[in-house]
Structure 1
Amino acid sequence: MPVLFFDVDDCLYSRASKVQEASSALTDSYFEHRLGFGKEDTNRVRNKQRKKYGLIVEGLASNHQIDPLEYNSMVDDAIELESLIRPDSKLSRLLQDVDTSKVKLWLLTNAYVTHA
């Protein structure tokens, strides 16, 4: 059976929702308050971790011995998605119209289960 993959992160909601901006602000706050980094170091380390590991949290856990679940609770789970993402009737119809007897629908994220 064919599979239709959707990446939930930054793909199934409008860029105008500002989810990425909220995530970046919380990440900056985590770097500043939890790790004691300044803005310049935050940008440098964040970009390095994302490029090398694909995920900031993976790099932080490997190189800065942070607790990934603490990071998740302070960043991903702290994003107020309910106030940022609005119902999207066109997207809902698109997903509901997928004939799941012919195509298996998979929605993926690299976020921890509580954020997903």
Structure 2
Amino acid sequence: MDAILFDLDNTLYSPQRQLFSLIDCRINRYMREVVGIPEAEVDGLRRRYWADYGVTLQGLIRHHDVDPEDYLEYVHDVDVNSRLLPDGPLRTALQSISLRRLVFTNGSRGHAERVLSSLGLENIFEEIFDIRVASYLPKPFPEPYHQVLGSIGIEARRCLMVEDSVENLRTAKELGMGTILVGDGAKPSYVDVQVAAAVQVPEALAHWFAAV
């Protein structure tokens, strides 16, 4: 293996931190106050857009002519530091991984940079690939994966993907990547290794390497 791709939200930190709930509120507010969607329709539309397009943003682009950059700036305008703290053990664990380390997220680069700063993970990752990498098309669609792999110049079979989303790992496995699921719950057959938290990823690498 040559590279390891890390998801960001609910992967590098525990979902118990409830950071995404702040973003969730901003998405609902954007749909109501900026796009003008009646409050009674917001939840139903979000569920439909998630099912059809993977993220709310794609539905808003396709059906409401929303400016994606305006949306990304608005929904990620949250107080990250109110939910996250520096994670020294995670920093040490990630530094022990000799592979090329990259972030691959459906969020924005700005949001990713703020999260990494709050966790004390500055300068740990070589690059951040965000929702813009494939014209706002998100994981689990294969296009952003191909764009990331093309950008780093590495074949899928030489990459690992670390995620809290089983659907995103399904695409990774279909492309030939090694897969590491972070979190509790059932382990699908296409997941190679499951860990409770990202700090345990170096241990999971024993699945591919005799020694880490």
1:115 CA displacement: 2.0
Q: Which residue of 1 aligns with 2:26?
A: 26
Q: Which residue of 1 aligns with 2:88?
A: 89
Root-mean-square deviation over aligned CA pairs: 1.5
Q: Which residue of 1 aligns with 2:108?
A: 112
Report the number of matched residues.
112
1:66-81 equivalences in 2 (<5 Å): 66-76=66-76, 78-81=77-80
1:84 CA displacement: 1.6
Task: Give the match's secondary structure for 1:4.
Answer: strand
Cα contact 2:5–2:104 (8 A) shared by 1: yes
TM-score (norm 2): 0.49
Unpaired runs of 5+ in structure 2?
113-212
Greater than 4 Å deviation, 4+ residue runs: none
Task: Give the match's secondary structure for 1:115.
Answer: helix
> Partner letter of residue 42 of structure 2?
T
Task: Give the match's secondary structure for 1:30.
Answer: helix
Question: Which one has a larger percent helix, Structure 1 or Structure 2?
Answer: 1
TM-score (norm 1): 0.86
Task: Give the match's secondary structure for 2:5.
Answer: strand
Unpaired runs of 5+ in structure 1?
none
Q: Which residue of 2 aligns with 1:49?
A: 49
Cα contact 2:9–2:20 (8 A) shared by 1: no
